Amino acid sequence: MSVERRGLMFVLSSPSGAGKTTLSRLLIEQMPGLKMSVSATTRPMRPGEVNGRDYLFVDPARFKEMVDRNELLEWATVFDNSYGTPRDPVEAALSAGQDVLFDIDWQGTQQLREKARADVVSVFILPPSAADLEKRLHTRAQDSDAIIRSRMSRATHELSHWAEYDYIVINHAVDDAFAEVQSILKAERLKRERRTGLTTFVRELQRQLGN
Ligand code: 5GP
């Protein structure tokens, strides 16, 4: 029997190239009850990306409107572009008892934590080495050399925020890292404070036991 619980906000952050996108995809595919938050961004679409699936691609004027109308739960500037989390889909999922997965940076994570500390579970993914990170950025080959260089230097800055996260996963091998992230989510789902239906459940147990 499943006990009712509050949905949680599961945040994955990492320097780009640490494998966070793959881990997010695997989580969505393999963990029922978890919904991806699709961010709005002003950055140009990359080859292979789909509007509405990977991001909502918007122009700066529309983004500003979303900020002004308080339509975003958090937002930040990353690599000269704006990124933000649309509020409505997140609130709808959480109130339907679903968990929401966020692929956002440390600035967005800080904002979510300020707004909903008890519901946020944050995981920082570390690459096993700088060489590995650079290799992944090159293999992805979607960005120019200049962008890759700026991402490498930004990675150093992003790394400095690791200690703000609840969990740290080092991505030596994607299967192992995925198993670790999955374990975190499974355990967090079982936390007593989130399981709002427990009091009723235990009361019923006690009644059955004749107390
Ligand atoms: P990319 O342009 O490579 O897709 O993403 C660049 C960075 O922006 C990543 O670190 C990603 O986690 C972050 N990001 C994506 N969407 C959001 C968002 O809605 N809010 C915040 N704060 N960061 C985001």
Q: Are 48 and 187 in contact (CB under 8 A)?
A: no
Integer Cα distance of 5 and 125 in angstroms: 27
pLDDT score of 43 more than 70: yes
Name the band, by pLDDT with cuts 50, 70 and 90, for residue 1: low
First to last CA, the chain: 21
pLDDT tens digits, one per residue of 98-110: 999 999 999 999 9
- Work out which ligand 1 atom sits closest to the CA atom of 15: 10
Ligand 1: residue whose CA is nearest its atom 10: 105
Give me ligand 1 centre to Cα 197, in Å: 35
The pLDDT, as a whole number, for residue 192 is 95
Task: Judge contact between 94 and 84, C-beta under 8 A.
Answer: no
The predicted structure's pLDDT at residue 89: 96
pLDDT confidence tier of residue 165, bands split at 50, 70 and 90 = very high
Q: Domains in the chain, please, with CATH? A: 9-37+98-202 (3.40.50.300)
pTM of the entire predicted model? 0.93
Give 119's DSSP letter.
G
Which residues have C-beta atoms less than 6 Å from ligand 1? Answer: 16, 39, 43, 74, 76, 78, 83-85, 103-105, 107-108
* Averaged pLDDT, 88-93: 95
What confidence tens digit (pLDDT) does each residue in 68-86 have? 999 999 999 987 899 999 9
Q: Give the strands of the sheet with 167-170, arranged side by side.
A: 34-36, 99-103, 9-13, 120-126, 167-170
CB distance 102 to 12 below 8 Å: yes
Q: Is the pLDDT of residue 12 over 80?
A: yes
Give the Cα separation of 37 and 29 in Å (integer).
14
